[in-house]
Amino acid sequence: MPLARPVLGEAEEQGVLEVLRSGQLSLGPRLEEFERRFAARLRAPLACAVSSGTAGLHLALRAVGVSDGDEVVTSPFSFVASANAAIYERARPIFADIDRRTLNLDPEAAAAAITPRTRALLPVHIFGYPAEMPAFESLAARHGLGIVEDACEALGARHGDGPAVGARGNPAVFGFYANKQLTTGEGGMVTLGSAEHKQRIDSERNQGRAPDMGWLDHDRLGFNYRLSDIACALGIAQLERLDGMLAGRARAAGLYREALAGLEGLELPCPDSAGDERGWFVFVVQLPAWVERDGAVGALAGRGIQSKPYLPAIHLMSFYRERFGHRPGEFPVCEDVAARSLALPFFPGITEGQIERVCDALRAVLADGPT
Ligand SMILES: Cc1ncc(COP(=O)(O)O)c(C=O)c1O
């Protein structure tokens, strides 16, 4: 059984065909339409479509002023792109430990990591669970810092104090890789509240070209981080079915939760609390401490079930150890969680029978004891 599987259908085919027939494959009308509809869906003031979540993080960090020698405080329990984006600007990602319940950056640990060189906070809504934004916003206000939210895994999530994740006005970055809640194959979106930031991101995704400038006149450094109209058409069709796809993931999560409740030592994703709502992306369990995780992955594969260690701690990756001298023991909560986390097959169309098969296999593997 695969880990992930996108939902695609006639609407996607139709949308892409229309773009192909129009002959305008990039910088056409679908770009603005996708941005407008995405922003409206979240009730975010503005949005900029980009070629990936990583590209969005890079441009958003530039927009809030991160540059040479700055520090960006972020979570070590994330996909590597959230930390890499700071390094693209010759800034340094400064990690702080995570909250054991939500697995998101712990605001107190983040506060302790702030130095005079800190320029921005980069909280990650990991596994679609909302980060504690009110705490980060007051921290940023106290220290005069920018905020970029990594919402790549969090489409459909909502904060307890009201807004959807991505609609607080801070630049927030979504990812549309094939395993995400909404996919354009590759792609991303930055939602934001500042028209000035939008203008900058729109220009920098297109080689630094200002909208009112003549052909090939560029007034700043830029990149090719454009999202094609083909991808935007896919995204528009996916937005139309987003409610159904999110409901499918939430249903699957509920079935997993029921089937796995009470298994000794197994920790499940934290339930929603204080009005925060998860946008379901993956179903990640933490194995009991006595189970050797990589052995469990092999044993599940032997039973026809794909699973993945997810996520490894960023600071312990070889590049980060070599470049910044990180060592085990620096962020104990993150390291413990990263050593035990396992993503199970999870996609909108997964059936009750498939979930039962996964859970039977997992129960059998855990009952076999240390592997
Ligand atoms: C938390 C997080 N940040 C950043 C990214 C990067 O997104 P992309 O793969 O679209 O560049 C991802 C996606 O994989 C992610 O899960």
Which residues of the chain are modeled with pLDDT < 50? 371
pLDDT at residue 369 in the model: 67
**Four-residue CA torsion sign, 74, 277, 41, 352:** positive
pLDDT at residue 218 in the model: 83
**pTM, full prediction:** 0.97
Q: Is 180 one of the annotated active-site residues of the chain?
A: yes
- Atom from ligand 1 closest to the CA of residue 177: 10
Any ligand 1 atom below 6 A from CB of 127: no
Q: Please give the Cα distance from 173 to 150 (Å, whole number).
A: 5
Any ligand 1 atom below 6 A from CB of 179: no
- Per-residue pLDDT tens digits for 26-74: 999 999 999 999 999 999 999 999 999 999 999 999 999 999 999 999 9
Q: Please give the Cα distance from 266 to 252 (Å, whole number).
A: 18
| Phi-psi region at 22: left, alpha or beta (left = phi > 0; alpha = psi -120 to 50) | alpha
pLDDT at residue 215 in the model: 67
pLDDT at residue 370 in the model: 55
Distance 166 CA to ligand 1 centre (A): 15
Any ligand 1 atom below 6 A from CB of 188: yes
pLDDT at residue 335 in the model: 98
Query: Quick check: helix, strand or coil at residue 9?
Result: coil
Quickly list DSSP for 325-364.
---TTSSHHHHHHHHHEEEEP--TT--HHHHHHHHHHHHH
Return the closest-CA partner of residue 275 out of 163, 137, 369, 148. Answer: 163
Pairing of strands 46-50, 188-192: antiparallel
pLDDT at residue 214 in the model: 66
